[in-house]
Every structure is written in C-alpha cells, then in structure tokens.
Amino acid sequence: MDERANKKVVIDAGHGGSDPGTSSNGIREKDYTLKISQYMKKRFDDLGIDSALTRTTDETLDPNTRPKRAQSFYGNGNDVILISNHINAGGGDGAEVIYSLRNSDALSKKIATELEKAGQNVRKYYQRRLPSNPAKDYYYILRDTPNNESLIVEYGFADSTGDDVSQIKNDYETLAEAVVKAVAEYLGVPYTNIGSGDYYIVQKGDTLWGIARKFGISVDELKSANNLKDNSLSVGESLKIPKENESVNEDEYIVKSGDTLYGIAKKYNLTVNELKELNNLTSDSLSIGQKLKVKKTLNNNSNTYVVEKGDTLYGIANKFNVTVDELKKANNLSNNTLSIGEVLTIPNDNNNQNTIIYTVQKGDTLYSLARTYKTTVDEIKRLNNLTSNNLSLNQKLILPI
C-alpha cells in the first residue's frame, strides 16, 4: 500500500461563532461548512481513515487559534492532510480548490475532477501568493500550517445566479462525498460509496419519527442501526439508514448521488412534469435516499388523486363525494394509513357526473377553467368544496366533462 495511506486528515469547518462568513440566499457559510465537515468526518471513519475536526460546534476560531488547533491533533508533519471547507461569495458560480505553495497539485486536481463528476462545475484549482511576500501563501490556514498538505475547498457561491445555491442547499452531501472519494483514492484506501443513500445528516427540526418515515422504516429499526438509547438527536449528527430497507418495489426508485429529475424521468419513460405530478413535487430538488414513484397508476374507469401532506381518507372521500369504505375498496386498503405521494383511485361514481382530475397550471383561473370545460365557476367550487377563487400551482381539481 502507498505510504500516503498512513496520512491523517484534519477537517476544518471554516468560520464559526462570531464569524459567520458569507451569508446569502438562505446560506450562512459557518453552518454549511460545519455540516459538510461533520459529514466528511463520518465518511472518513467509515473508510478507516484517521481524521479530526477543528470544530464540532458553532465555535469562534480566530486566525491565530485555528492553525494551532488544526496541528494539535496529528502534528505539523507532511503526513497530515488539512482540508479547510468554505463557501464562496462574489457572484460567481462553481467550485474552487486552493492548494499550498509547498505541495503539488495532485490532490487538488483529483478533488476538482470528483466535484465535476458529482455535477458541480469547477472554476479552477490553483495557488495564491501573498502580495507582500510571494514566497508565502495568501491564506493564513495554508501559510500557518507548515509541512501539512493543506488546501481550501470552496464548494460554490452563496450569491450565485447559477445553480450553486440549490447545490449547496440540497446537494452538499454529494459534494462532500466527492472530496472524500478523492482523498481516499489519493491515499490508496479502498473506497466504497457508503455515504450515498445510506446516511442522513440530521437537520434542524428533525425527529426520529420523521426521518424513519422519510426512508420507509420504523423508529426502532433506525434506533437499532445507530445504537440509540433514546429519541434525542443533534443537528449535524449522521444517522445510518439500514441497508435492507433500501429495497423497493418495481414502482419505486430511490434517489442516488448525481440523480436528476430529468435523468430519472427518462429512465422510466416519463416526462419531468409527469414524475413531479406523480410524487406531488413542487420543485426540481431531490434528496439522496428519497423514494419516488416511477409508474403511473392508470384506470380508464376511474380518476386518480395524489396524496398530499395533511390528507386523510375521510378528507379525500369528502372531497370527491364518496364514502371512506368506497375509497378503501377501490384501492384495496386494509387500514386508514396514507403516504405522501401515494396515488389513489377515485371511484367514478361522483354523483353520476362524468369528471376528470385536473392539475392547476400556471396562469389558470376558475373563470378560464369554467370556460374551457363549459361549466360555471360556482359548479367548480361546489365540486371541490372551495370557499374562495384562489388556486395553487399543481392543485388537483375535479372538473366536469
């Protein structure tokens, strides 16, 4: 094995405490660098690579303290890789990797390549010199960690007008995984993509019940997989999602690293709009491990309805003027449990009136729909139990035909 495999990794979550870093578009740098760093620490542990974090909380580290903290774990030798995680600002778009003057570009180039494979465009990987002394690095975290193989990763621009904002918010784990993969391969350590879909980073407001439901498992299974003694969670904590629960039926697909709605839709001969409607999605954002329905449920003698957050069998039955028993019978339901995104067959006996289920499009109004379907605004409101004329994009409406 290459001697580089004996190297240790120090992960530096940039900024923190009284130093928030850049803030834009709902992204506060110190928060996302900590999330990224905590994810990387868990992944390096998975791969058997010794690693340490310069901060594990919202802690202030000044320019004098941070380099000393970084070298307090494994020393100041060349057997240590230091990765300082950051989010950029300035209106650009894409990732950047800056490596120290004392090191080659081998690791930075590999990181840039993996970030590109993960779907992020890379502006450049480079070195930057201190104007007052070109023999020294511009950035203190590189300059003041002598002998270590130190580099900075800027994952994207918080104030980007391109796709960086959504990538940072929704795909930071994917980008962090790319860096982990690059480091593992650079060190000659066998790499397995355990982090893609098998782990979940706890977010503010998360509960065990909510996470278990998200991945279609029980709370007990989640607790057992993570050796949890109680239901307490910490923001940034990495939870293992039991592998056996990733199996899904042929009508479902589990989102993996690098997936897009377009790619999934194409794979299952759907349009993006059909895929979004099938799963009641209002944006193009996806999460690793998310379950998507990929098969349209069609019945020529019935209408269909996609279950939304807050729906109950009673509410849906009332909405379509059928009984709960009729609704359960039409869908072979043995209990009253519903899942968001589930497609229900609505019995066609809707007051003996022929109807369709229509999804509200941009620009639709009750008046325009009434005119198109040769009915009245009042009739549409009656069929849908509407109390106002307001419509929401992707809202489902019963319309007479």
For residue 126, the cross-strand partners are 98
**What are the chain's domains?**
3-193 (3.40.630.40), 248-296 (3.10.350.10), 303-400 (3.10.350.10)
Burial 380-392 (b: 16+ CB within 10 A, else e): bbebbebeeeebe
Residue 386 reports pLDDT greater than 90:
no
- Note whether 157 and 93 are within 8 A (CB): yes
Q: Which of 198, 277, 209 is nearest to 39 (CA)?
A: 198
**What is the rounded distance in angstroms from the CA atom of residue 165 to the CA atom of residue 217?**
31
80 DSSP β-pair partners: 8
Distance separating alpha carbons of residues 176 and 156, to the nearest angstrom? 12
pLDDT of residue 289: 65
pLDDT given for residue 231 in this prediction: 86
Q: State both tokens at 140.
A: 């203190």
pLDDT at 195: 42
- Residues 331 and 320: their CA atoms lie apart, in Å, by 14
Q: Write down the pTM of the prediction.
A: 0.53
How buried is residue 92: exposed, middle or buried, by Cβ count under 10 Å (0-12/13-18/19+)? middle
The 10s digit of each residue's pLDDT in 10-57 is: 999 999 999 999 999 999 999 999 999 999 998 998 888 999 999 999
Predicted confidence at residue 349, as pLDDT, reads 52
The tokens for 176 are 């962090």
Residue 351: the pLDDT is 44
For 216-240, the pLDDT digits (tens) are 677 877 887 777 888 888 876 777 7
Name residues whose C-beta falls within 8 Å of residue 303's C-beta, 6 or more positions apart in sequence. Answer: 320, 345, 346, 348, 350, 355, 356, 357, 398
